[in-house]
Amino acid sequence: MKKLMQLKGAEILNKEAQKSINGGFGIVGMYCYSGDECSILNSIPGFEHEEFYCYGNYCHVA
């Protein structure tokens, strides 16, 4: 089982919370060509500690 760190001032989203934010599919809605382009999403408040990746030309939250 993974250990989650408690980060002061940050909310760690579980998979259910991610689904509610991303419409149930983990798709953020930003078009991309590489994972580097998705890293800009970490500047959104509340998403600073999330991991994003590019798949099917859309950014997804891990």
Q: What is the pLDDT of residue 52?
A: 87
Residue-wise DSSP of 12-61: ---HHHHHHHTTTTTEEEEE-SSHHHHGGGGGSTT-TT--EEEETTEEEE
Instruction: Tell whether 5 is covered by a domain.
Output: no
Instruction: Tell whether 42 is covered by a domain.
Output: yes
Instruction: Tell whether 8 is covered by a domain.
Output: no
- Domain span at 40: 15-61
Q: What is the pLDDT of residue 7?
A: 46
- Number of independent structural domains in the chain: 1
pTM score, two decimals? 0.52
Q: What does pLDDT average to in each consecutive run of 10 residues of the chain (62 residues)?
A: 46 58 57 87 86 86 82
Q: Which amino acid is at 16?
A: E
Q: What is the pLDDT of residue 9?
A: 47
